Chains A and B, each alone.
Chain A
Amino acid sequence: MTGIQKLSNVAAIVGAYEHPTRYAPDKSEWQLLGEASRGAILDAGLSKDHIDALFVPATASEGGYLGTCASVMAADYLNLNPKFIEETDIGGASLGYYVNRAIAGIHAGLFKCALIAYGANTRSRKINVGTVSYNQLSQVELLPIPDSFEQIYGTTVISFMGMLTQRYMHDYGVTSEQLAAVAVTFRQHANLNPDAARRDLISIEDVINSPIIASPLHRLDCCIVSDGAGAIIVADKDIVKESAKQPVWIRGFGESIMHHGGGLTDWSEETRAMVKRACDQAYQMSGTTSADMDVAQIYDAFSYNAVIDLEGAGFCGPGEGAAFSADGNLRLEDGSIPTNTDGGGLSSNHPGRRGIFLFIEAVRQLRGEATGRQVKDAKVALCTATGAAFLARRGSAAHILGV
């Protein structure tokens, strides 16, 4: 094999664990990280001593305690001695970027068994992720560049996503009701997930009648804020043989970033193009197309994110994602591409960097462990995540997983 195809099936997810908590005022963020890490290594049937690479994001930028030098600090706390550490930060997509870097490192022969872990108690610490200025969230002075040209105008996470959603709705004639269908569908899935934070069914009207936080986004268009933790073990073929459960192979992966381009970027079109670049690489590496996917896990910080990723991933055309969702295509029982089968960030779990949970739910689906919400005969899954640095400086990661 030549080109990027040689990176297909280099590594598998051999362990995965999502902490059941959504509210843990009695536990530190670090303890949650440790409990998730232990859960993942136990799930793999391996021991702590197998781990020779560690990938952990800083959480201080959304109000956590794990800040500078996060991965070495986490190695100290977990008493690990990895040969390789990583803490690339692209917000909630960071965990997807870690999978890519883990595969690159495994392919290069640098290590064999990577722990990718995340924990945060964003809810119990009452961090208002979406409704404060970024610099308050990250507890730092406004940077001269670029913050001082932007944050002084009162931008928040939700108002930024509001601006993106507003432009998208304008360009394609999309309605709030169509977008609301995303949240309604994912809540139906959360209803089947005993660990989901919000399980009560909601209607389109409930979404439309919930308060507008920053137009055009209603409260129910926005993800929940939870405590939470999760971890996965990404390992090479040798470790796969030692592990206990069916390996979930990483068939393909991709990533791409976007930014303001000196003031020239069309944020709206570039968002979809970024997701498409990431997905196209993953499809090319794995020799698949969107038609091959049995299930999708999409980072839904907001309903808009799910819609634009569906378009970027090729499940529907530009501007069609909301109607595609409203037509029932994401539904677990009868949709053409069951999506966010755990309830997603809109209903199940969103401490701030949801990326890790996409992989965990995909693993559950592909192993047939998604009790009560199992997609029948799911063999191939797509995960897409987009995270943000500030405003339209963002990165997407895409993964094709298979058994």
Chain B
Amino acid sequence: MNVESQESWTGLLPTLCPETQPFWDACNQNKFIVQKCQACGNPQYHYRAFCCHCWSEAVEDRAIEGTGTVWTFSVVNRNLTPAFASWGRYVVGVVEVPEGVKIVTKIETPDPDSVRIGTPVRLAFARAENGQNIPFFRTVS
């Protein structure tokens, strides 16, 4: 694992529940979990207590390497929700990771207009005020 140093997270915070607690706890160790089913071999994201593909409970928590590419994205010029007021123009997207899943995420970039489908990105974390680490992806310069 080689994630970038932490910055602060502004915006909405996740609501945790017992089922998803392990994912968010792993984030606090700078790890992003994509589960792999030991029964059917398929990966899954988001986190669940079982494999959604075959309903086996034999799912293994695996930290991803942290690389990926932009599968699609949108530069958001307008989000009136107050929690995002400080974000300015920002990029939401779907990142495809070599572990085999698509991940909805924020794509941090110095230049929103430079993002393209296929742009390489890397996992990063930001720390929220409540101490929770939030994962996102950053364009590779």
**Which residues of A pack against B, CB within 8 Å?**
128, 131-133, 135-136, 141-156, 158-160, 162-164, 166-167, 170, 211-217, 260, 262-265, 267-268, 391
Contacts and interface: CB of A to CB of B under 8 A. Distances in A.
A379 to B, nearest CB: 40
Interface of B: 11-17, 19-20, 34, 42-48, 51-53, 71-81, 83-84, 87, 90, 92-94, 100-106, 117, 134, 136
Contact of B45 (A143, A153, A167, A262): A262
Pick the most buried of B80, B90, B104: most chain A CB atoms within 10 A of its CB.
B104
B81 A265 contact: no
A154 B94 contact: no
Nearest to A151: B12
B74 A159 contact: yes
Contacts of A148: 14-16, 20
B42 A264 contact: yes
Given A144-B14, A262-B44, A262-B45, A215 B20 contact: no
Contacts of A391: 104
B117 A167 contact: yes
Contacts of B93: 163
B74 A214 contact: yes
Contact of B104 (A135, A155, A156): A155
Contact of A265 (B76, B102, B105): B102
Contacts of B101: 262-264
Contact of A162 (B46, B74, B117): B74
B105 to A, nearest CB: 6
B75 A214 contact: yes
Given A128-B80, A132-B79, A154-B92, A263 B45 contact: yes
Contact of A153 (B15, B102, B105): B105
A268 B11 CA distance: 28
A158 B81 CA distance: 13
Given A147-B15, A148-B20, A154-B87, 19 more contacts: A131-B80, A133-B79, A133-B84, A144-B17, A144-B20, A149-B47, A152-B12, A152-B14, A153-B106, A155-B104, A159-B79, A163-B72, A163-B73, A170-B72, A212-B77, A214-B74, A214-B77, A262-B45, A267-B102
Contacts of A158: 74, 78
Contacts of B52: 262
Contact of A263 (B44, B75, B80, B81): B44
A211 B77 contact: yes
A399 to B, nearest CB: 30
A268 B73 CA distance: 12
Pick the most buried of A154, A163, A167, A212: most chain B CB atoms within 10 A of its CB.
A154
Nearest to A133: B81
Given A154-B87, A212-B77, A167 B102 contact: no
Contacts of B103: 263
Contact of B72 (A132, A150, A164): A164
B16 A144 contact: yes
A153 B136 contact: yes
18 contacts: A128-B80, A135-B12, A142-B13, A144-B17, A144-B20, A145-B46, A152-B13, A153-B92, A153-B105, A153-B136, A154-B90, A158-B78, A163-B74, A211-B77, A262-B45, A262-B52, A264-B44, A265-B102
